[in-house]
Amino acid sequence: MNNLEDIVSLCKRRGFIFPGSDIYGGFAGTWDFGPLGVMLKKNLMDAWWHFFVETRDDMYGVDAAILMNPRTWDASGHTATFADPLVECKECKSRFRADKIADGITESVTTEEFLNTHTKCPVCGKENWGPIRKFNMMFTTHVGAVLPDDDAEIAAKNIAYLRPETAQGIFTNFKNVVDTIYPSIPFGIAQQGKSFRNEISPRDFILRDRECSQMEIEYFVHPDTWEENFDKMLKLNHEFLESICGLSHDKIHDYDVPAEDRAHYSKRTIDFMYEYPNGEEELMGLAYRTDFDLSNIARESGKSMEYRDKNTGETFVPHVIEPSIGVERLFLAVLSSAYVVEQVDGKDETRTVLKLPTNLAPYKFCVSPLLKNKPELVAKAREVYDLLKQKYTFVTWDDSGNIGKRYRKQDEIGTPKCVVIDFDTLEDGTVTVRDRDTTKQVRIKIEEL
Ligand SMILES: [Zn+2]
């Protein structure tokens, strides 16, 4: 089992992920994707979109604004209930999420229950706690011309939130989609985009950050068919995680969330738990949200959210099955599943390899001349590079250091094939192709690449 620190270090060393605002000493709970990270992240998001939207007849996409009318969050219940139990140490003034520092309690913990756990402050070691307070995790901002010296009343009128989930951008467009596309039920609306949560204590690298990218689908069904559609979505999401993302079936555990731990809108939730290097953590969630959201929107907006079945003529408010996955969580699962340190065949050394599925690897090929000081080799290698770049797009060039060092570097960023041009290439038009996973080399003709 690899550990999280090794992966964080690889991410920084090879340009996958940097701490946010690194140059100013960072900014808690934020991370920046570097050149390689952007490629892997985009591949993951594209693979998801292709699998769940483009290849299906029953899925449609939206891309809603991050800033939404605040009534959205009143209707959805976020203003009232999207809160974590905050507890403050009276000795050192450190603040924590109560359910994260004490064992055997949930988000709905009371002050008494927390005190009974006799938890010591993780910072100063004392046991002197204030009461549990509910801390709303939505980021607030002000929309329009609000000045710092405006009174609280003016400021409050102009308050807006950075969306805490992408789902509401889908629900609020339900009627628009139905009235323009006339989809047959069951159908889904998908969205990818940023969402924001003011985590009390961000931690565990990109697993618990304050700004993340989500990929969500609201799958609208007839209320009588929610169970079969829930099962279909469950299977479909396993297929995506295992066949497309290369995650091992044995490391994904379905956890049927008991009623008291479910989000306020859900009647059934399955958390897909993944065995991350630092332990089991939630990778994604599948929730049956009933007609909670559409009915709330109907009440808040005064507009009907009913759907009329074209075949039966029946009119009803659809129920919803929601698969929701955080891109960063998926990113880390894929990275840690691909990360391998292994013995080099016949040698007393190890190598670090990212055994990423080819469809996700940032680069598919690396092209290099055996020697960089031989102009004829470099010219030929450039020719091969241009050819592959045209054909496969995701091709990189490397003529630094010696060939062994180049292989190590490409192994670490997960490039499946390294193509090397040597003197034989000039004679017979063949190149060496070295495989990332087996390290075996074969000679093949340039045309066969
Ligand atoms: Zn303390």
Give residue-wise pLDDT tens across range 108-140.
Answer: 889 999 999 999 999 999 999 999 999 999 999
Give residue 208 CA to ligand 1 midpoint distance, Å: 22
Overall fold of domain 4-81+142-335: BirA Bifunctional Protein; domain 2 (3.30.930)
Q: How far apart (Å, rounded) are the C-alpha atoms in residues 406 and 418?
A: 9
How is 62-99 classified by DSSP, letter by letter?
----SB--THHHHHHTHHHH-EEEEEEBTTT--EEEHH
126 Cα–ligand 1 center, Å: 6
State residue 144's pLDDT score: 87
Q: How many A from CA of 64 to the centre of ligand 1?
A: 42
pLDDT tens for each residue of 369-408? 999 999 999 999 999 999 999 999 999 999 998 999 999 9
User: Mean pLDDT over residues 60-78, rounded?
Assistant: 95
**Chain segment 239-282, per-residue pLDDT in tens:** 999 999 999 999 999 999 998 888 777 889 999 999 999 899 99
Q: What's the pLDDT score for residue 152?
A: 83
Q: Do domains 4-81+142-335 and 83-136 have the same CATH topology?
A: no
* 2 has a pLDDT exceeding 70: no
Q: How far is the CA of 19 from the centre of ligand 1 (A)?
A: 26
Burial (CB count within 10 angstroms: exposed 0-12, middle 13-18, buried 19+), residue 428: exposed
pLDDT one-digit tens code per residue, 415-439: 999 999 999 999 999 999 999 999 9
Q: Please state the pTM of the whole predicted model.
A: 0.92
Q: Which of 122-131, 295-304, 345-354, 388-397 has the lowest mean pLDDT?
A: 345-354
Q: Give the Å distance between the CA of 132 and the centre of ligand 1.
A: 15
Q: How far is the CA of 95 from the centre of ligand 1 (A)?
A: 8
Place of tokens 């929309």: 143
Of 87-91, 154-158, 262-266, least confident by mean pLDDT is 262-266
Domain ranges of the chain: 4-81+142-335, 83-136, 363-448
Better pLDDT: 443 or 154: 443
Write the pLDDT tens digit of every residue in 158-215.
899 999 999 999 999 999 999 999 999 999 999 999 999 998 888 888 888 999 999 9
Beta bridge partners of 138: none
CB atoms within 10 A of CB 241: 24
CA of 75 to the centre of ligand 1 (A): 38
Domain spanning 83-136 has what CATH number? 3.30.40.230
Residue 91 CA to ligand 1 centre (angstroms): 5
pLDDT for 201: 84
Tokens for 135?
A: 């801390």
Average pLDDT, the chain: 94
Reading the block at residue 223, the tokens are 């209320």
Instruction: Please choose, from the candidates 101, 105, 107, the residue with its C-alpha nearest in 3D space to the C-alpha of residue 127.
Output: 101
pLDDT at 86: 94
Question: What contacts 277, CB < 8 A, 6 or more positions away?
Answer: 1, 2, 3, 4, 6, 7, 336
Phi and psi torsions of 130, nearest 5°: -80, 180
- Ligand 1 centroid to Cα of residue 99, in Å, is 16
Cα 203 to ligand 1 centre (Å): 18
What residues sit around ligand 1, an ion, with C-beta below 5 angstroms? 89, 91-92, 94, 121, 123-124
Instruction: Tell which residue, 34, 16, 71, 56, has the closest CA to residue 332.
Output: 16
Say how far apart CA 51 and CA 49 lie, in whole Å.
Answer: 6
For the chain, the residue count is 449
Q: Which helix (H) or strand (E) holds 326?
A: strand 319-326
Ligand 1 centroid from CA 120, angstroms: 8
Nearest alpha-carbon partner for 196 in 26, 29, 34 = 29
| Token reading at 402 | 């010696």
- Give the DSSP letter string of 102-118: STT--TT--HHHHHHTT
Question: How crowded is residue 388: how many other Cβ atoms within 10 Å of its Cβ?
Answer: 21
Q: How far is CA 313 from CA 298, 303, 316, in A?
A: 21, 20, 10
Q: What is the CATH number of domain 363-448?
A: 3.40.50.800
Note the pLDDT of residue 1.
52
Token code pair at residue 231:
């099962």
How many angstroms is it from 123 CA to the middle of ligand 1? 5
What distance in angstroms lies between residue 88's CA and the mean position of ligand 1's atoms? 8
Task: Say which amino acid occupies 430.
Answer: T
Q: Where are the alpha helices (DSSP H) in 117-266?
A: 152-157, 167-171, 174-181, 226-239
The residue with tokens 């339900």 is 174
Q: How far away, in angstroms, is 87 Cα from ligand 1 center? A: 11
